[in-house]
Structure 1
Amino acid sequence: METKSLIIDIATTLFQKKGFIGVGLNEILKTCNISKGSFYHHFPNGKEELLIACLQSLDEVITKDMEDMFDQYPTTQEATKVMIEKLIDKFEVEGTITGYTFSSIVSEMGSLSEPVRNACSLLYTKIQGIYSNKLMEDGYREETANSIALTMTAAIEGGIMLCLTNQSSDPLKTISQVLSKY
């Protein structure tokens, strides 16, 4: 694996588990087994540039996974149910949901850095777009689909955070039941 990709992969996991502020540059260097010079060769503007690269990487992974899932099922209801079940299974097996959320990074950095906030906003917009497009395929008008998509995004992201803080998959199970009624 290329050094830059290795740094992004490892840092993404560290940021999701410990937050941006909770992960120091030395921890990244040690975990990646690289020198400070190698780090700055790939990320000359430092840790925040790395964070943006991590968010862009998450963007690609999350949106591709969601698009594939939503293409496999005929309705938003079915696709959402399967997606949430996947999140629940991941949480129950691993005790966390890294790789599928970036909320912890957003809450910590989104208001502090405009480039980070913009990267997060783009990902949320893409997620809402996936939901909205599927809802329009289900027959909802664009305005209604956009409103429901916003609600779905907020509910699922909030559910992930509640699962992590409560150490229980119950919040996502409840959200799945409620969303399945729509």
Structure 2
Amino acid sequence: MDTKSLIIDVATKLFQQKGYKGVGLNEIIKSCNISKGSLYHHFPNGKEELLIACLQSLNEEITKDIVEIFDRYPTTHKATNALISKLINNFETEGTLTGYTFSSMVSEMASLSDSVRNACAKLYSAIQTIYFHKLVVDGFSNDEASSHALMMTASIEGGMLLCLTQKASEPLQVIAEVLPPILKTRRFKTSE
């Protein structure tokens, strides 16, 4: 792994665990075992620029994973079940969902910085677009698909946050029961 990728990877984990304000550049430098000059070589504008790079990296990782899951299953209903099951399994196995949620960074920084807010908006938009396209394939109108995609994004992201704060997988388990029936296909009947 090159130095820039290492910095992004370590900073992303630290930001997710402790929040943007809870992590200083010195902690990132120490965790990466690099010099301050090396960090500023890759991120000359400092911590906010690094945060945006972390959000872009998360965007790529999260959307790639969601696309892979949604491509594997024939309906939004089944794909959503698989995604939520994976999140529950990750939480119960690892005790966290750091690879999937970035809400702590959003809540801290989105109102303070347009560039961070825009990076967060891109990630949410990418996730909603994946859901939207699958819902359209399932026979939902564009308006219905758009509304449902927004609801899915909010429900799943909110469920992850609740799991982290409650230290329990129950919020995602409830969402797994309540959300998928709403997503049953419109055009054709499935044996679900």
Per the TM superposition, whether the score is higher than 0.5 is yes
Instruction: Tell me, in whole angstroms, the C-alpha distance in 2 between the residues paired with 1:38 and 1:50.
Output: 13
2:67 is matched with which residue? 67
1:52 is matched with which residue? 52
1:167 partnered with 2:142: no
Identity %: 66
CA shift at 1:181, angstroms? 1.2
For the residue of structure 1 that corresponds to 2:181, the secondary structure is: coil
2:30 is matched with which residue? 30
2:155 is matched with which residue? 155
Which ranges of structure 1 fall in alignment gaps of 5 or more residues?
none
Counterparts of 1:68-147 in structure 2, within 5 Å, are 68-147=68-147
CA shift at 1:101, angstroms? 1.1
For the residue of structure 2 that corresponds to 1:181, the secondary structure is: helix
Instruction: Tell me, in whole angstroms, the C-alpha distance in 2 between the residues paired with 1:52 and 1:174.
Output: 32
Instruction: Tell me, in whole angstroms, the C-alpha distance in 2 between the residues paired with 1:107 and 1:117.
Output: 10
TM-score normalised by L of structure 1: 0.99
Which ranges of structure 2 fall in alignment gaps of 5 or more residues?
183-192
CA shift at 1:97, angstroms? 0.1
TM-score normalised by L of structure 2: 0.94
Instruction: Tell me, in whole angstroms, the C-alpha distance in 2 between the residues paired with 1:108 and 1:92.
Output: 26
Segments ≥4 residues shifted beyond 6 Å: none
Instruction: Tell me, in whole angstroms, the C-alpha distance in 2 between the residues paired with 1:112 and 1:94.
Output: 31
For the residue of structure 2 that corresponds to 1:88, the secondary structure is: helix
Instruction: Tell me, in whole angstroms, the C-alpha distance in 2 between the residues paired with 1:111 and 1:77.
Output: 34
CA shift at 1:180, angstroms? 1.7
2:190 is matched with which residue? none
Instruction: Tell me, in whole angstroms, the C-alpha distance in 1 between the residues paired with 2:59 and 2:150.
Output: 17
RMSD of aligned alpha carbons? 0.5
Instruction: Tell me, in whole angstroms, the C-alpha distance in 2 between the residues paired with 1:129 and 1:86.
Output: 20
